[in-house]
Structures are given as C-alpha cells and as structure tokens.
Amino acid sequence: MSNCSGTTLHPPRNDELVCSDGTLEEHYQAVLETFQKMKRGNYKETDEFCSVVKDFSSCAHTLARSPCDKHANEAVKDLLASIAFCRKHLEQRVDKYNGKNAAKKIRQHIERVRNELQPRTEASLENGHLHYLDPSGGLQKSTIKISSPGRRSAVSPFQHVPSAWTDRHGYLVGATFEGFIGFVTSPVGSSDPEAVNIFLLCFRYMQTPLQAFKALVWRYENSSDTEIKAIVANLLQLWVELHWRHGHDKQVYEPLRQFASKSLPQDSLHIEAAKITYSLGEIASTQDDNYHGHRLTRMVEHNRQCHQLHPPSPTDFQLDRKTKRALLAGRFEDINVLALWGLKGAEEFARQLTLLAATLYASYRPDDAVDFWRVAPEKRTGGETMRSLVVFENALSLWATSSVILQQSASECVKACEFLLDVIAACLRHRNFGSSCAIFTGLQRRCVERIVTERNAVSANHQINYQNFKRFFDMYDHAEYHYALRESPGMPAIPMMSIFIGDVIKIFSRPVAIKVNNTSPELISVNRYRDLTKIVQAMEMCRSPYAFERIELIQKYLEYVSAKFNMNDTEEEALLARLGYRSKELTALNSPYRGQAPPSPIRTSSLRNVITSANAQFKAVLS
C-alpha cells in the first residue's frame, strides 16, 4: 500500500488531484483497501491503527487544498465516513487491548483529519443560484439554477430573500422556509437525502400547513423548469399520501384538490394529479380528524408479513391447577410469581408482558407523541393514550418490588428475585427494553437490592446478570441501549419511553433560529429538526408487531397489575414505606444466606453479545 504519511505533499494542480507518490485516486483507493482489511481482521497493535489514520490524515491534507469538483466532493464524503467508522469501532478495540493512552492517540489523529476538512466547503442559495465557497475565499457559481422566472410574475409570500446553507458534506444546516422549499424541490437537494423526510415530518413546526402549501404552489408557478415542477408535484403527492394529518391539514384539502385538477394536467403531470386526487378521495371518505397518511401503516404491515413467515415456536409451559383456578375466578390477589418459577415460566411471562406493552405502544402515533411531550407539563391537555405505556411501566416497577418483598420467607424472596432477573433477560432477548427497565428499576430499590448484593443470596449467574443489567440501563450513558435499538431496524421492539421523552424535550429547548455567519439572516435550524426526524423514525421502526401466542389468563393478570399499582405520589410513597419496613423484618430473620462471605469478583460479559446473538438468529430465520 502506498503510504504518504511521511512524505511531502505538493500543491494540487487544477486538472488533477495529486499526491507526492501518485494521483490521489490511486493513493486513496489503496488506503481504503487496507482499511477494509483491518475491518475484517482483529488487529490489536496500536501502530497499525495509527498507520491507517495517518494515511487518512494525508488524504485529508490533500483534499482540503483541492479544487471543488465532483471527484473531490465524493472523496471527502467517503473519507469522513471512514473516519466515523474509526471513531466508532477502532477506538473500542484500542480501548480494549491497549488502554486509554493508545485510544487518545487515535482520537488525536481523527480530530486532525476533521480539522483539515473543516473549511472544505460551505454552500448558500443566493439570488436563486447555488454557490460553493472554496477554501481560498472565491465564490464559484453552480450550473444548476434553484429558481428561474416563470411565465407569470408573482410576489413571494415571504418577505425575506430565499437562502439556505449546507455543510461541507452537502447536508442542509440552516435555511429560511422559502429557501428550505427551494432546496428540497431542486435537483441539488439530492446532496442531502434526508431533507425531504425532514421537511414532510417537521414543516408544521415551521409554518402552518396552508402557508407551506402556498409556498409550494408559488415555487411551482414561478419556475419554467419542468424537472422542478415534477419535483414539487411529487412532494405534494408524498404529503397527501404518506404524511397527511387531517386534524392539522384539512384547510389545505380544497386548495390542493383544485391545484391537482387544474394546474398539474396543464403541465402534463397527469400521473401525479391522479395519485393526489385518489388520496384526497380516501381522506374525504373517512371525514376523521385522526386520519393519518399511510407511511406508518404500510411499514408496519410489511414487517408483520415478514415476521409471520416464521413465527416463534410456543413454549411448553403450563400453569398449575391452583394458579389456573385463581385466574379463572378472578382472584388475582392470590397469584404468586413463584407459580411461574423456572426458565420456561420466565420466558412465557416475558412474551405475554411484551405483547401487552406492544399493544400500549401501538395505541398512539410517534408524531402525535412528539406534539404532546414537547409542550410544558402544565399546558398539556388530554394525552391519556400517550401516558398509558409510561403508567404501565411505573406500575410494573412497583409490582416487581412488591412481588419480592411480600413473600413469606427470605428464601422465597430470593427465588422471586431470581425469577424477575430471568424475566428481564427474556425481555431483552425480545427487545422489550421498556418493560425490562421497569422491572429492573423495581429490583434496584434499596429494600430489594440488599437481597441481590449485600447478602449474596442469589446465584452467581444471577449476580452476573444483575451487574450486566445495571450497566446496560445506566441512566448516564445509554450507548449499549442505543446500539441494540439501532442494530436491526425493522425488528419489533419496545423502547424506553423515558429516553425518547427526554430527547424530545431537549430538542425543543434548543434555539429555533440560527445564524451561520454575521451577514446571514436568522435561519431555521435544520439540524434541530434533523434530530427530531431521527427520533420519530426510530419510534416508528419499533412498531413492528410481535407474533407470540396470546394467553388470555396471563393477560388479564397483567391488566390487574397495571390497574392495582397505578398510584399517585402519596399512595406510592406509602407503599414503599411499608415495603421498606417489611424488608427490614426479612433482614432480621435467621436465614441460611446470612453471614456468607461477599462474592468473589467475576468478570462480567457485555449484554450486547446476548442481544446481538438474538438479532443474528432472527435475521437467519427471515433469510
């Protein structure tokens, strides 16, 4: 492989990107080839990591001084993607094998690469043209026009000049609303593949739907480019077919129907006009303010059909006669979790728990949830459906604590605790992160935690699982949780709603407008809505249905648990006080577990391996 990390770099010529030992293309391909080998290998030496990152730094040094042509822009994108991989994966290996000091060296090289590429390009929309600002300060005009005078003169519905700014990768950073529309409805908008989704999911937070429609119509009528007209028509079709929210968008219904029936056919856009008219007919047939577009339903239906091809095999767990009679008679207070003792009981209970949580999670739409959680708590109205899953998880946490502490003896408390740890492990295998976190929160209360840790009562394997769960659900670092959630998109999952809620509140606390430089006007912070779009899409990807067999008796018991432990703050404090007193009584009992030596330190394996293995088995079945 060619290595120019220690050679002198010459200034690039206008006709060719050059490196000291050959063309940049040859050098860059050699670097990437070695990098791919490293990804497939298991290198442990710090020098090998540093060597590749130094090569990246050399490429970045050349690219940062190269002309702004298509080849250089593509190379910059590929290079930054490789650097992102270095940061995410290589550092983990260096941390594991060589310690923090070696990882620090890698970080320094990566930051040097990022700093080299920082001033690479900026883009803006000025006077209807796309401009690139090269490192030397010269302004190069693109050959693609963003808007052109049409056959009729019209005044923009906005007072400010249309403008939009992109980063060095071509991703939109800030824009006026009219500039945002100009970007997503122009061929140059393909440089940001997420821009259309961001606009369709979040434009209601920027302007009213009627104002957005008028801006799109103005864009259509004041452009003579047939390609731009087709893009605008396609954007309107995506809006009405996939992203329509009738409660918000009904004022646009009649103007859009007239536009589709009159303006689009005049420009030979008959297919787009027919699709929009058909979708509007579906909306008119429902007359329901809760009507939404088909984006989410189509995705869920597709995933459901995939999962039903290979349904999970049922467990052979059977309830004992006493428990079954109590459930049939509705005497739920007589049910003891020890009746489900054993791994098969924990697996079946986790499946039924997952089915109920999935039903509650599917009872509301992610975009409606964002509208609810972004409002201050004192201003929220309604929202019983939005709170249902959070209320259930809080009840599940109190139930877990009570199920352990209210046993008759210390040994039964230990068995109940081990059973719940098995349920958490089964829930995580099924990607039911919300319920597993709720149960683990119940086991982390002081009155229960002393059974697991101080008294060394539970088995060594359960102690290992407890420590793994504690790291996985660490409230200060959700790295493993986010990794497990993103690892297999399309698989059914129950997320931890508290994290989503916190992310939504954090995003809407950020500034709405930004200024990319001293001379630019106040612009919409597109990255703010980019992060919000990722949250909504992540919530939607979790809504794939589970194919478990439903057991009505256990479902009724879980509904009883949800109702019984749905307490206000005063009732919850009183219950925890009683459980704390009961826990002290159990501690004072003579137990075969008291007086044992503390457990020897055991090296715990990452819980990520368990979830990765389950995801791999799921993919193998679908393939």
Rounded-to-integer distance, Cα 198 and Cα 177, Å: 12
Decide if pLDDT at 120 tops 50.
no
Q: Is 580 within 8 Å of 447 (Cβ atoms)?
A: yes
pLDDT classification of 339: cutoffs 50, 70, 90 = confident
Packed helices 410-429 and 460-472: angle between N→C axes, nearest 10 degrees: 50
pLDDT classification of 29: cutoffs 50, 70, 90 = low
Rounded-to-integer distance, Cα 310 and Cα 57, Å: 48
Decide if pLDDT at 96 tops 60.
no
How many other CB atoms are there within 10 angstroms of residue 80's CB atom?
18
Decide if pLDDT at 18 tops 90.
no
Rounded-to-integer distance, Cα 371 and Cα 290, Å: 14
Decide if pLDDT at 170 tops 70.
yes
pLDDT tens digits, residue range 506-543?
A: 999 888 888 766 666 788 999 999 999 999 988 888 88
Predicted pLDDT of residue 186: 87
Rounded-to-integer distance, Cα 38 and Cα 464, Å: 33
Q: Which residues, in sequence order, are CB contacts of 427 under 8 Å at separation 6+? A: 350, 353, 354, 433, 435, 436, 439
Predicted pLDDT of residue 50: 63
- The C-alpha torsion from 517 through 518 and 520 to 524, rounded to 10°, is 60
Q: What is the mean pLDDT of residues 455-474?
A: 83
Type of residue found at 187 = P
| Domain spans, the chain | 18-119, 319-495+548-622
Decide if pLDDT at 588 tops 60.
no
Predicted pLDDT of residue 209: 95
User: Strand, coil or helix: what is 372?
Assistant: helix
Q: What is the mean pLDDT of residues 584-609?
A: 46
Q: What are phi and psi of 174, to 5 degrees?
A: -145, 150
Left if phi > 0, otherwise alpha if psi is -120 to 50, otherwise beta: which for 160?
beta
How much of the chain exceeds pLDDT 90, in percent?
A: 25
pLDDT classification of 449: cutoffs 50, 70, 90 = confident
Predicted pLDDT of residue 522: 81
Find tokens 């089915």 and name the residue.
Answer: 355
pLDDT tens digits, residue range 175-200?
A: 889 889 999 998 888 888 899 999 99
Decide if pLDDT at 81 tops 50.
yes
Rounded-to-integer distance, Cα 222 and Cα 240, Å: 22
**601-606, Cβ contacts within 8 angstroms, sequence gap of 24 or more:** 602/460, 602/463, 602/464, 604/464, 604/467, 604/468, 604/471, 605/464, 605/468, 606/468, 606/480
CATH-assigned architecture of domain 319-495+548-622: Orthogonal Bundle (1.10)
Highest mean pLDDT: which range of 91-95, 130-134, 139-143, 357-361: 357-361
pLDDT tens digits, residue range 376-396?
A: 776 676 677 778 888 999 999
Closest CA to 309 of 79, 540, 547: 547
Rounded-to-integer distance, Cα 520 and Cα 413, Å: 65
Decide if pLDDT at 225 tops 70.
yes
131 DSSP β-pair partners:
124, 141
Decide if pLDDT at 356 tops 70.
yes
Closest CA to 83 of 114, 59, 62: 114
Q: What is the mean pLDDT of residues 493-506?
A: 88
Overall pTM > 0.85 = no
Q: How far is CA 349 from the centre of its chain?
A: 27
Q: How far is CA 352 from the centre of its chain?
A: 25
Q: Minimum mean pLDDT among 12-21, 44-53, 83-92: which range?
A: 12-21
Find tokens 């946490």 and name the residue.
Answer: 397
Q: List, in sequence order, every beta strand (DSSP E) within 519-615.
A: 523-525
Rounded-to-integer distance, Cα 192 and Cα 123, Å: 12
Go through the chain and tell me how many residues it has: 623
Q: Which residues, in sequence order, are CB contacts of 512 under 8 Å at separation 6+? A: 524, 525, 528
Q: Is 395 within 8 Å of 561 (Cβ atoms)?
A: yes
Q: Between residues 311 and 442, which one has the greater pLDDT?
A: 442
Decide if pLDDT at 6 tops 70.
no
Q: Between residues 161 and 367, which one has the greater pLDDT?
A: 367
Decide if pLDDT at 601 tops 80.
no
Decide if pLDDT at 27 tops 80.
no
